[in-house]
Structures are given as C-alpha cells and as structure tokens.
Copies of this chain bind each other. A is one copy, B any other.
Amino acid sequence: MINQQELFTQMAMQAWETNLKRMNDTFASLTDEQMMADIVPGRNRPLYLLGHMAAVHDRMLPLLGLGERKMEHLDNAFLINPDKAVVELPSIAELRAHYAEANESINRQMGLLRGDEWFEKHTSVSEEDFAKEPHRNKLSILNSRAHHVSYHLGQLMMAKNK
C-alpha cells in the first residue's frame, strides 16, 4: 500500500514521462529538412522548439532547487526571442545533444527527490505566498512543464510526414 503523496507524485511523474517520451520519439523522427521548415508559414520551426524545450527543461533545475542551470546560452535565441529573431544558432546536432542532456539531467535530479519534498515550495514563490497557496509546490512545476510538453508536442506532430 503506497501513501497518497507517493501515489500523486507517481501520477504526475507518469504524465511527464509519457509525454516526454512521445516528444523524444517525434523529434527523433524528423529529418534535418523537416527540422528547418516552418510548421505553419511564419510560425515556429521544430528546430526552435528543440532549443526552447532544452532551455525550459534546463531552467527546471534551479526552480526545483536541484542545481545550477547549464544552458543559459540558449535563452537569447530560444526563450527571450521568437524564432528567426536570432540568426546565429547552434547546429541541429548540437541542439539535439543539448535537448537530450537537459532531459537526462533534470530526470536524474528529480529522481533524487523524496515524496514529501515534492510538496515543498518551489524557488520562485516566497514563504509568505506559499503559506497561503500550498499548491505552488515543486510538483506544480512538474505538472506545468508536462503540460508545456503536451502543448508543443501537438504542434510538432503536425511537422511529421503525413
């Protein structure tokens, strides 16, 4: 019999893992040519989404109190600015490696969190606000980042061969 915290954490982790796995498979299935083409004219390319996901997942480390960021160099091109605003981008191969490393790193660190630690506050909420809003815990970061994966996965699926 597992306790409720463990059950709830397991449910959240499962949603994250399932969606991330689908995203990994989808990125892996796209050719370099597909990675460079607008999904919809004037909108993001899969290449941009790849760098964007790496930067967002890298940012989860400090948000969850699990360590320093490693990929701040991606922020300008993939977080602060929209696609095509920045001309000098890493190669697709480099971005694939960053994406894999960011995921590997956050997954490894999250694996070290104990059940009750998921219900502690995340680092961008104050003690005062957290006392009033206990749902702003670390697990809420995992949930919202899992939703962020689903959102962009929907877009990425439209870049695949029909």
- A positions within 8 Å CB-CB of B: 2, 4-5, 7-8, 10-11, 14-15, 19, 39-40, 42-43, 119, 134-135, 139-140, 143-144, 146-148, 150-155, 157-159, 162
Contacts and interface: CB of A to CB of B under 8 A. Distances in A.
A47 to B, nearest CB: 16
A135 B14 contact: yes
A155 B154 CA distance: 6
Contact of A7 (B40, B135, B157): B135
A43 B161 CA distance: 11
Contacts of A8: 4, 8
A158 B43 contact: yes
A24 to B, nearest CB: 16
Contacts of A152: 154
15 contacts: A7-B119, A11-B135, A11-B139, A15-B144, A40-B158, A42-B162, A43-B158, A43-B162, A147-B147, A150-B150, A150-B151, A150-B154, A151-B153, A153-B154, A158-B158
A140 B42 CA distance: 36
Contacts of A158: 39-40, 43, 155, 158
Among A40, A146, A153: residue with most chain B CB under 10 A: A40
Given A11-B143, A151-B154, A158-B158, A40 B39 contact: yes
